[in-house]
Structure formats: structure tokens, C-alpha cells
Amino acid sequence: MINYKEHITIESGKRSGKPCIRGIRITVYDILNMLADGMTREKSGKKDTHFV
């Protein structure tokens, strides 16, 4: 089982305390929305993206 605390942070001073992907300050909500809209590694242009 994956320990989400290794990948997700919650800090009150960053992004209004929303859960973010560690190290890149993008919210989990944003990632889920991008995936729901059909984003893939190929579409994002980043082959090394660790969250997609």
C-alpha cells in the first residue's frame, strides 16, 4: 500500500492549506481535474511527470 504522506503535503501557508503534490505546489484537486479532462503524460508534454 502506498503511503500518501510521502507524496502529498498539507501546509497552511501553501495553496490555502489544500493538499498538494510534494515538491511542486500543485493541488491534488488540480491533478484529479486534469486527469478527468483526459490529460496523459503525452498530452502534458512531460514524460517524467511522476503524478500522471
In 1-52, DSSP assigns E strands to: 8-9, 20-21
Q: Residue 36 and residue 52: Cα distance in Å, rounded?
A: 11
Average pLDDT score over residue span 31-42: 86
- pLDDT given for residue 47 in this prediction: 54
Specify the higher pLDDT residue, 20 or 47: 20
How many CA atoms within 13 Å lie on the side-chain side of 36? 6
Q: Average model confidence (pLDDT) for the chain?
A: 83
Query: Residue 8: pLDDT band by 50, 70, 90 thresholds?
Result: very high
pTM: 0.68
Average pLDDT score over residue span 11-33: 90
Task: Calculate the CA 18 to chain-centre distance.
Answer: 11
Q: Residue 52 and residue 44: Cα distance in Å, rounded?
A: 9
